[in-house]
């Protein structure tokens, strides 16, 4: 491995995003794209990320639940979701004790621990960030509006025609600035590098943090490349920026 100049990490989920691959590459002394082992581990575990970032950005109220309980500790509606999962798998919006019990019955046997979180009825947005020689650049905000689903779930994400994409998101200048500042604060406080995507909910003039994706999709149709293109950055240039960012670490 040491004969390689760089590993371009496009592995999603466990091993590729949770700090495991990054730790191995650090041990081998091989450069790689994206965030380091600690930041990757932190962001992959939403509970750790919430506890770490709660003093820096607004986060919907959350509680860890490890066993079956009768009702939501944060009231209704609420969100039940795994600590470590992607693509909105295992995420439920619950409006009653019955729905809450059903969500726990689905998730607890699979994950052992879930996050129960206050539901924020706002606009779902994702903010892509890249690192250049001049510093971090926040790309145009993308708003995601599911047409038939309650939220941007697995079906809305991966079924053509299920979601309306607004790029840039229709926001007032001061709202856009607030969203971008919040996303960048979360990204930098978590120690993220290179490139990434910050997801959240815009409600009552505030951007509520939900998660950081440290290895976002990089197909030409993915969210980050779409936001880059809206900023005048073509796909080939984006890939070049990400590669160069790996050589900025430690400088």
Asked if 111 contacts 75 with a C-beta cutoff of 8 angstroms, the reply is no
Annotate 66-79 with b (16+ C-beta within 10 A) or e (fewer): eeeeeebebeebbb
Beta strands in 40-120 (DSSP E): 62-65, 78-82, 92-94, 114-118
Q: Please list, in sequence order, all residues whose beta carbon lies within 8 angstroms of the beta carbon of residue 63, skipping any fewer than 6 positions away.
A: 73, 74, 115, 116, 117
CB-CB neighbours of 133 under 10 Å: 10
Q: Is 61 annotated as a binding residue?
A: no
67 is in an annotated binding site: no
For residues 27 and 22, what is the distance between their CA atoms, to the nearest angstrom? Answer: 9
127 within 8 A of 226, measured Cβ to Cβ: no
Check whether 213 is labelled as a binding-site residue: yes
Q: What are phi and psi of 28, to 5 degrees?
A: -85, -10
Known binding-site residues equal 199, 211, 213
Known binding-site residues for Mg(2+) equal 199, 211, 213
């Amino acid at each position: 491995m040491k004969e390689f100049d760089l590993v371009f990490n496009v592995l999603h989920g466990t091993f590729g995003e949770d700090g495991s691959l990054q730790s191995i590459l650090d041990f081998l002394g091989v450069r790689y794209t994206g965030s380091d082992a600690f930041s990757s581990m932190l962001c992959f575990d939403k509970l750790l990320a919430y506890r770490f970032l709660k003093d820096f950005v607004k986060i919907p109220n959350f509680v860890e639940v490890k066993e079956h309980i009768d009702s939501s500790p944060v009231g209704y509606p609420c969100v039940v979701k795994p600590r470590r999962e992607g693509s909105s798998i295992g995420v439920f919006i619950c409006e009653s004790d019955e729905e809450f019990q059903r969500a726990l019955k689905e998730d607890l046997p699979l994950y052992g621990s879930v996050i129960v979180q206050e539901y924020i009825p706002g606009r779902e947005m994702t903010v892509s960030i890249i690192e250049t020689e001049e510093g971090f650049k926040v790309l145009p905000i993308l708003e995601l509006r599911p047409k038939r689903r309650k939220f941007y779930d697995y079906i809305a994400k991966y079924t053509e025609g299920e979601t309306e994409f607004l790029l840039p998101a229709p926001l007032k200048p001061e709202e856009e600035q607030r969203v971008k500042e919040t996303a960048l604060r979360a990204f930098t406080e978590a120690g993220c590098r290179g490139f990434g995507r910050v997801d959240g909910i815009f409600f009552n003039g505030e951007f509520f943090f939900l998660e950081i994706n440290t290895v976002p999709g990089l197909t030409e149709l993915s969210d980050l490349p779409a936001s880059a293109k809206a900023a005048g950055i073509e796909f080939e240039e984006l890939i070049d920026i990400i590669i160069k960012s790996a050589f900025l670490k430690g400088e």
